């Protein structure tokens, strides 16, 4: 049984998710998925439904767009045909994504309070780096872990454990901030505390249902719940 959390938490570093936490990438991801479907003579899918498919990386977004189901796997030849079409369209739309309101101010506040920052995402490096650079957010992070940086990605704990090791701290001193089940599962498996933002994706479900330690309106709100260890 997990022991109850006592605030403020003793934290030395903070890992932050990308899609749905730092950046609103839904419009670009869903538009790329629908352009892919149209090019393949499939009917377009409402953005709200496509948004619920986001959270486990582009591979699963493409599979879900093709099948209309969360866990179904399309014919492999169909998937292999669709994936590069999606990438072609998404690359053209990528830099239209914007940070959520309060993100820049929140990151500034966390750095000013002395916290070291990491970005951990399931997005591929080929998109993560240009997105962070293009939105001016890359400068905030000492380390960026993308979905293809390590041998496993969230919800596996490896990215969080790797990040804690990079900072030279115990996993319990690394706070994860995310918006989805993928983030909370990874944090719990790694032994990290986890806060959720309520404005992200989480497959269309409320973060109230997740195993989190707190829900915060923005990153600045985390400061009242943590202290620099």
Q: Which residues are catalytic?
A: 17
The DSSP result for 135-155, as a single string, is TT-GGG-SEEE-TTTSS--TT
Cα separations in angstroms, 43 against 36, 160, 193: 10, 39, 42
Residue 214 backbone dihedrals phi, psi, to 5 degrees: -165, 155
State whether residue 113 is helix, strand or coil.
Answer: coil
How many other C-beta atoms can be found within 10 angstroms of the C-beta atom of residue 7? 11
State the DSSP H helix or E strand holding residue 188, giving kind and residue range, or none if neither.
helix 181-190
Give CA–CA dist 37/135, Å, rounded.
28
């Amino acid at each position: 049984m997990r022991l109850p959390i006592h605030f403020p938490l003793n934290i030395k570093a903070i890992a932050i998710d990308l899609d749905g936490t730092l950046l609103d990438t839904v419009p670009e991801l869903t538009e790329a998925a629908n352009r892919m479907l149209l090019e393949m003579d499939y009917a377009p899918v409402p953005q709200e439904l496509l948004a619920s498919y986001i959270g486990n990386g582009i591979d699963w977004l493409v599979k879900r767009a093709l099948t209309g189901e969360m866990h179904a796997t399309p014919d492999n030849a169909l998937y292999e045909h669709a994936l590069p079409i999606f990438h072609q369209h998404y690359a053209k739309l990528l830099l239209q994504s914007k940070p959520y309101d309060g993100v820049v101010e929140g990151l500034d506040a966390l750095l000013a309070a002395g916290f070291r920052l990491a970005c951990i995402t399931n997005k591929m490096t080929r998109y993560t780096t240009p997105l962070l650079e293009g939105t001016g957010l890359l400068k905030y992070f000492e380390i960026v872990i993308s979905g293809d940086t390590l041998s496993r990605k969230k919800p596996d704990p490896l990215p969080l454990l790797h990040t804690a090791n990079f900072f030279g701290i115990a996993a319990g001193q690394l706070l994860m901030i995310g918006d989805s089940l993928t983030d909370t599962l990874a944090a719990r498996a790694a032994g990290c505390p986890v806060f959720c933002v309520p404005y992200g994706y989480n497959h269309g479900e409320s973060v109230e249902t997740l195993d989190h330690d707190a829900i915060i309106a923005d990153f600045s709100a985390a400061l009242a719940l943590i202290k620099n260890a």
